[in-house]
Amino acid sequence: MPPSDPLSPLPGRSASPEGDPDARPLALLMHAAFFLLLGGSLARYLLRHPGETRTPWIIGLSLALALLHVLFYVLPTDRDSGPASPSRPARPRVHLGSVVAVWVVLVVLAPSFAWCAVPLFYTGLRTLPTRTALALVGLLTAFVVAAQLQLAKGQFDPTLLVAPPAVAAVAAGTFVYMQRQAARQRALIDDLIRTRRELAATERREGTLAERQRLSYEIHDTLAQGLSSQQMLLQAADRTWDTDPATARRHVRTATSIAERNLAEARRFVHDLAPADLAEAGARGGGLEEALRAVAARENARFHVDGTAPATPLPDRVQSALLRIAQGALANVREHAQATTTALTLTYLDDQVVLDIADDGRGFDPRTPQGPRGVRGHGLPAIRARVQQLGGTLAVESAPGEGTVLSAAIPLEPQP
């Protein structure tokens, strides 16, 4: 058995109450049974054989057996603790061999001590490998049978030949079965713990990947789009700096305004707060509609609201997602569509809220992964991911030269 076996009565293998609450009571029961059998055997011998010359030897051997049991199995000891060494595995066997040797001498001198073998069965089964332990049980059983026959004084009794082996077989078989069952249970528990750890690690990895994806979408819809706009404005200012200084300065001022807004977005992004437009609208007592109107105004888009907003404000995550969808879609229109007119419409229905972004630009084929200028980047995938996270649907209607309509529908939670 491994050194951590909680029921082992051997030094260095003593039961740990912290590991198994039943270990200490079982150990106490085994010690009590041994000393009761030893004391009863000694009392029987003294009552039936008073004044014999070997009585002092019997008493001395009984005390020696009790002392060995106390030293090896009762008193706590640190002799087997510490680093492993070649001598340590042999110590339990030496201890058990010493106890068995004294018991054998006692049984030869006084057969009354034969039944002290019962606790030794369990000690051997817990200390030795299974085959060796079963051989020891067989040897102890043979001594018990011989002692019982000697006590019978010539009166043959078949039960004396059958009962001790039967008891030993039942005890050993039950113990080995329970031992193997415990080993299988430990293996199952180890597998369960390992599986739980692997599952936790997988969930952590998936959470990390999902968070990275969310961050990439957030950066694309805010900072990246803003930087792209600044680049376009500064390039336009550089081209008109000498020929049209007023227009160039207007481009620079606009780029500065976008930089300030991007800085606010970055600060709120770091603190995981709401989008800057939504936060500013909330500070003024407004909400999603005011924030969308501000975004549309910056992009020279028309904004319209259909229907009546629900009495209960939309959840923050829905408002944030709709605003990010509008920002991403309008940025795509600005960079790719070459549109002259863009319309942003927020529609409240009974069971959902719908955000439509329509433009009269050059359009594209939604079935192809690439637009007219190559890979479209994170724009549409980010919008689609936001909609799906909220259980909504995204529809994109477009064709080359016919403009684009993007429609994001988000379901509303039932009102109480």
Count Cα neighbours of 71 within 13 Å in the Cβ-side half-sphere.
14
Amino acid at 406: L
Q: State the chain's mean pLDDT as an integer.
A: 78
Residue 75 predicted with pLDDT over 70: no
What's the rounded Cα separation, in Å, for the pair 11 and 88? 10
User: Residues of the chain with pLDDT > 70: what percent?
Assistant: 81
**219 torsion bin: left (phi>0), alpha (psi -120 to 50), beta (else):** alpha
Residue 92 has pLDDT above 80, yes or no: no
What is the percentage of the chain residues whose pLDDT exceeds 90? 12
What is the pLDDT, as a whole number, of residue 108?
84
Q: What is the pTM of this model?
A: 0.42
CA–CA distance, 47 with 196 (Å, rounded to integer): 63
Pick 368 or 351 by higher pLDDT: 351
So where are the chain's domains? 23-76+87-156, 300-416
* Bridge pairing between strands 302-306 and 342-348: parallel
Reported confidence tier of residue 23, pLDDT bands at 50, 70, 90: low
* Spatial distance between the Cα atoms of 191 and 178, rounded to a whole number of angstroms: 20
pLDDT grade for 378, boundaries at 50, 70 and 90:
low
What pLDDT does residue 88 have? 44
**pLDDT tens per residue across span 281-338:** 776 767 889 989 988 998 899 999 999 888 888 888 898 889 889 988 988 888 888 8
CA proximity to 58, closest of 40, 44, 45, 71? 45
φ and ψ of 378, to 5 deg: -90, -5
pLDDT at 324: 86
CA dihedral 325, 210, 381, 298 (to 10 degrees): 30
Count of CB atoms within 10 A of residue 398's CB? 20
Task: Scan for tokens 């059983």, then name that residue.
Answer: 141
pLDDT at 89: 47
CATH topology for 300-416 is Heat Shock Protein 90 (3.30.565)
Instruction: Say if CB 316 and CB 287 are below 8 A apart.
Output: no
Span 139-167, pLDDT tens digits: 888 888 888 777 777 676 777 777 788 88
Asked whether the predicted pLDDT for residue 80 surpasses 60, the reply is no
List the Cα angle 308/314/319 in 5-degree steps. 110
98's CB contacts (< 8 A; 6+ apart) are 68, 72
Tell me how crowded residue 147 is: count the other CB atoms within 10 A of its CB. 22
Q: What is the Cα Rg of the chain in Å?
A: 43
Tell me, what's the pLDDT at 232? 85
DSSP for 304-354 reads EEES---SSPPPHHHHHHHHHHHHHHHHHIIIII--S-EEEEEEE-SSEEE
Rounded to the nearest 5 degrees, what angle is found at the Cα of 361, between the Cα atoms of 387 and 306?
50
- Take residue 383 and report the two structure tokens written for it: 């919008």
